[in-house]
Structure 1
């Protein structure tokens, strides 16, 4: 790890148009010097701006933040203070909502393989459960509030790993099975609130949502025949690209809401609310040339997994200047050939300690970071008129703290 301030070079005129944050180059340099690198930096005002965009596009809709995008308590508290609820997809995320003191109507419990702990704690809270398969009906206590998740079986414009509404995906009930699940849920005494649809994440073509919502409405006459003439809730999920046509998506969602006569429209943005607010700062360790030219960084797949997992292309901005520019691959420190943050980036010739800003990193960045190779996970800081340390950098002893030392005796379960 490069220590704070080591080899730092002052910004000398390169603009930050590609880094989607209001933070200035000097602020980013200051953060790196003060807190070290790798470092996640968040701009609180951008979170507020993204939330306003969603509210403007979906007036009157209830917003539940998909907290898997970034579950830092500073982010959760900021959103909750503005009336946003949460979608939890793991026991740990549900525990975070309980720690915050959330009421049941603030929480959606989702996921394809929920644990007994999630059923128990969610029911105690009075949360709304998303039924992902018919077998879940028998696992929920009578009176539990539920939505039935629909898989429309459609291809969408995103990476295959992010396509949750495709026919081969593990999520949701296929269209032809939804009526049966509604009947089973009613027979089990569950409180059926409505339908849930989430077709994927980072979807590039906004038209995909209109097609999916149109597929969903084919269920309306079938549900009316069962006596479900008017639904309480239509939850249309999230997954919009960062520059999606939100008004167009919202208009299609309202058409679907009208088809079901649903009293409430719910949306679940995750990445959209926080991605542009976050920047990963990383320092140059050195350069190397094989068949390709590399800039070696102190951050890589253990800090930002999305490039390796989804072939995500995050914008990269150098915070230094130099007379010559060359094309490089940005490689991390892991002993993995796939540990590359970005390929074919044109940069000024770097020196060790020069600072890079990797943009669109506020979502699925820090939450996916790992201690692979016993690396310490990075610190996180928030700018809200001043710097706030919202997660300290791990120490090596933090990485192995949960391990049982042989001399202390084995633990059996």
Structure 2
């Protein structure tokens, strides 16, 4: 955990809003995954946080990357990943993404039947199965639900595997990913059981990729036991794709108090909002909020950002000491889908990022300027 004094130092040095990451927690999260899943190959779901410094740390630790866009494939290549350390996923891959993945020797995750004919010749592939389950997460995060856009049905999977082999591709195995921020291990058990039901129709598998989606505080050893049991049914190697789990707890968004007001509710106004942290508005996500000024709890506040949007709230009903103008708030569990989903809406430059490592701060992304935001609009008249 980063000391409060160090957080204050970072805010003073780099300004706010500011994303900071704890290197020791990044390492600890990866350690928990490897301890639970044993020899499983770990692929980091890059969409959670694609900062190049974090990617280089993971690459050096032997972690592969799951990429869902051409830009993410380019980032994987930039940090030196290739071959069996790169997965290319997504329901609507573009021609350039197939080409980029093939150049790196990546494994493709086939998301629909017609994709078999779109793969580069001689590709390695997994078939993504949608187990059609109701899971304990927000609807927008439930990728394994019957109504989601992802994967093929269990009934279609054997035929897609055969079609891959008939087309000269290497059909490695099956893939499943049921969503994100899921804490109930029973959801994963149900998904893995749905895959196991496909045996022996698809008995010749080399790989079972069980995705990720484990929420902070999930029973990782229990989930891992279920995953290993499913893989053993097929005699397959186990792959996992954690994203949020590896980076969420390591990241904190620092924001300063701008002011306060009371209308129908008490609002604490801050210099960060939906443009820096969209998850509360998009998913109803709840992030822990800590005041870094002293004082006894003096009331509850809705923490609100500067955007002209009623939904621009970082948290509701937060118990805080009496507000201090310029006081610093730490928004926790913000390392995943915080900086990566930040935007320049309202021409708000995206925040800087810094890494706490060995008792020192290391800047890993500079703060944008308004000129950065409009740079791509220049010289086109």
Q: Same fold (TM over 0.5)?
A: yes
After TM superposition, give the deviation of residue 230 of structure 1 in Å.
2.8
Deviation per residue, 1:284-330 (Å, 9 max, x gap): 00001001000000000000000001100000000012356111100
Note if 1:250 corresponds to 2:229.
no
Which of 233, 249, 254 matches 2:207? 233
For residues 22 and 68 of structure 2, the distance between their equivalents in structure 1, rounded to whole angstroms, comes to: 25
Aligned residue runs from structure 1 range 30-45, under 5 A: 30-45=9-24
Contact in 2 for aligned 1:287/1:294 (Cα 8 Å): yes
User: Do residues 54 (structure 1) and 30 (structure 2) align?
Assistant: no
Separation of aligned partners in 1, 2:318 and 2:260:
13
1:313 equivalenced with 2:292 (yes/no): no
Partner SS for 1:402:
helix
Where structure 2 has 5 or more consecutive residues not aligned to the other structure, the ranges are none
* Map of 1:259 onto structure 2: 233
Greater than 4 Å deviation, 4+ residue runs: none
Contact 1:322 1:350 in 2 (8 A): no
Of 315, 318, 323 in structure 2, the residue corresponding to residue 350 of structure 1 is 323
For 1:135, the equivalent position in structure 2 comes to 114
Query: C-alpha separation between the residues in 2 aligned to 1:140 and 1:78?
Result: 31
Is 1:285 the counterpart of 2:258 in the alignment? yes
- Whether contact under 8 Å (1:234, 1:257) holds in the other structure is yes
TM-score when scaled to structure 1?
A: 0.91
- The answer on 1:376 being equivalent to 2:355 is no
Identify which of structures 1 and 2 has the higher relative contact order when contacts are C-alpha pairs closer than 8 Å and 6+ apart: 1
- Are positions 1:402 and 2:381 aligned together? no
1:313-352 paired onto structure 2 within 5 Å: 313-323=286-296, 325-352=298-325
What do residues 31-86 of structure 1 show as CA deviations (whole Å, max 9, x unaligned)?
00111000000000100000000000011110000010000011001111111000
Partner of 1:126: 105
For residues 324 and 205 of structure 1, do their structure 2 counterparts lie closer, same or farther at Cα, with a shift above 3 Å needed?
closer
Q: Distance between the aligned counterparts of 2:53 and 2:249, measured in 1?
A: 16
Q: Give how far 1:209 is off.
A: 0.4
Report whether the alignment pairs 1:392 with 2:366.
yes
Cα deviation 1:219-252 (Å, max 9, x = unaligned): 11212xxxxx331111000000111111110110
User: Aligned-pair RMSD on alpha carbons?
Assistant: 0.9
Match of 2:161 in 1: 182
Partner Cα separation in structure 1 for residue 297 and residue 125 of structure 2: 60
Structure-to-structure mapping, 1:4-19, within 5 angstroms: none
Q: Deviations over 1:178-205 (max 9, x none)?
A: 1121121112111101110100000021
Q: Is the 8 A contact 2:248 2:333 kept in 1?
A: yes
Hey, what's the Cα distance between the residues in 1 that align with 2:129 and 2:234?
14
Residue segments in structure 1 that go unaligned for 5+ positions in a row: 1-21, 224-228
Please tell me whether Structure 1 or Structure 2 has the larger radius of gyration of its CA atoms: 1
Q: How many residue pairs get matched?
A: 380
Matched, 1:364 2:337: yes
Pairwise CA distance, 1:104: 1.3
TM-score, with length taken from structure 2: 0.98
Do the aligned partners of residues 261 and 323 (structure 1) sit closer, same or farther apart at CA in structure 2, a change above 3 Å counting?
closer
CA distance in 2, matches of 1:258, 1:324: 53
